[in-house]
Amino acid sequence: MTEFTVTGIRYQFPMELSQEVRTQMAEKYVTSLEKGTPVVLVAEPENPMDAQAIAVYIDYERIGYIDKEETAQVHPLLDENQQCDALVERNDGHITLFVTIPGATVKPHVMNSRDRVLPVSPLGQEVKMPFTKAENTLQVVACRLMKIEPKKETIQEFLKLAEHYVPLMKISICNDENVWRNTIMKKLSEASAQSKDWGLTKEQTGALTDIYKKVRACVGDMHRTSDHWPERVFKQHLQTVKADKEITDHLYQKYCKTFLDGKDFSEADKSRVRLELRRLRIWLENMPCSELRNPNDLDAMALRVNYMHLSRTEIYDLFSVLLLIEKLDEVSDGRTFDEEEVIQKLLHIFCGKRENAQAFLKDILGLKPTQITELVNQLVSERTISEISKKRDLWQVLHEYNIYPKSESNWNSQVK
């Protein structure tokens, strides 16, 4: 029998409590769990700290994570929804839990990949905004509800999951949630039609009918634009994320470290702020639909998102950029990044070929210093730059607009 270790349990309790109190609460919780208690393991590929993370849920509440040293053994055991059932096996008498996975040798399902709709995030892999706690819970509940085939023997479990699902089904308009709502509505409809044949109790029949009506109404709302329901959900979702200090603090800290040379927004170089504003707005300008290009028109953006069937990750990429543009606007000196001014200074370096200068400027926005260095060296070797002597002029322009760091050691190594 293979056991897997569950750690980080005390960190699931409110962070405003002291470490000592959280440890005491975790110990009390862990030691209260009986052997055989059902557990759900859920992969979190968008976890900003660890893309391989596997969360552990009991009663639809995240209680910890599989130890990071053991996740490689668990991933092949997850199903097509990146979940699997497990059981509490034992604890260490303190704050560590051990679980087992029944049928661990069963061949795993293959995940179906889905093509991205929006352009690749301008924030890269380094800067990711965590999903809200409610969304993580919704993912667990909805995926498990989708797996159950309602019948007389499973109706009680089905109803219990459905009751957990209803308060969460209006969180977002991402593609996964639209698919879940429609599929769950069909399951509820089929179960309601069979309720008499199954001999369900009056209470079970009533609960089934009530839940079905609520989900049906929600699905109907998603297809009605007269009362702007999708727009309200999208904007409310954005405000929920923005109001979650834990989420936004993580986003802002990672962004400043990665793109503002480790400086806070208010302390960052103004030219760097202008450059970042321009870069993020370019990402919006390159959207496939015009409604997604204006950060000040959330109604049009929300309506388009509803029809484009975006993934949760893509919606969070959009949220991240909207929040960062707002934050950068607050500390900007009001000047915009003058692209034409920079291109004019680059023309003589690129043999007067405007298209080459434009392409270069577009390519380097958001690149790391080492990547800019590699690109410049490549252009020199390809003789896209008029003369090797012009390389110094190029670095001077990049330095002037703070596109390349002002570190003297870095600077001196490039202009030699």
pLDDT tens-digit series, residues 285-343: 889 998 999 898 898 898 889 888 899 999 999 999 999 999 999 998 776 667 788 88
Higher pLDDT, 334 or 361: 361
- Domain count across the chain: 4
List of residues 6+ apart from 388 with CB closer than 8 A: 380
Let me know whether 246 and 324 are in one domain.
Answer: yes
List of residues 6+ apart from 294 with CB closer than 8 A: 284, 300, 301
Last residue of a domain, one of 305, 331, 357: 331
* Residue 252: C-alpha distances to residues 53, 123, 328, 335 (Å): 22, 11, 10, 22
* Residue 301 identity (one-letter amino acid): M
Let me know whether 163 and 238 are in one domain.
Answer: no
pLDDT at 1 over 80: no
Q: Tell me the chain's radius of gyration from C-alpha atoms.
A: 26
pLDDT in the model for residue 416: 44
Alpha carbon distance 187, 237 (integer Å): 27
Helix (H) or strand (E) holding 323: helix 312-331
Task: Please check whether residue 87 lies inside any domain of the structure.
Answer: yes
Segment 180-204 mean pLDDT: 90
Residue with tokens 């002291």: 18
- Residue 372 · residue 317 · CB < 8 Å: no
Domain that holds residue 169: 133-222
pTM above 0.85, yes or no: no
Please list, residue by residue across 386-401, b when 16 or more beta carbons sit within 10 angstroms of its beta carbon and e when fewer do. eeeebbebbbeebbeb
Last residue of a domain, one of 222, 245, 265: 222
Burial class (CB in 10 A: 0-12, 13-18, 19+), 416: exposed
Alpha carbon distance 57, 65 (integer Å): 9
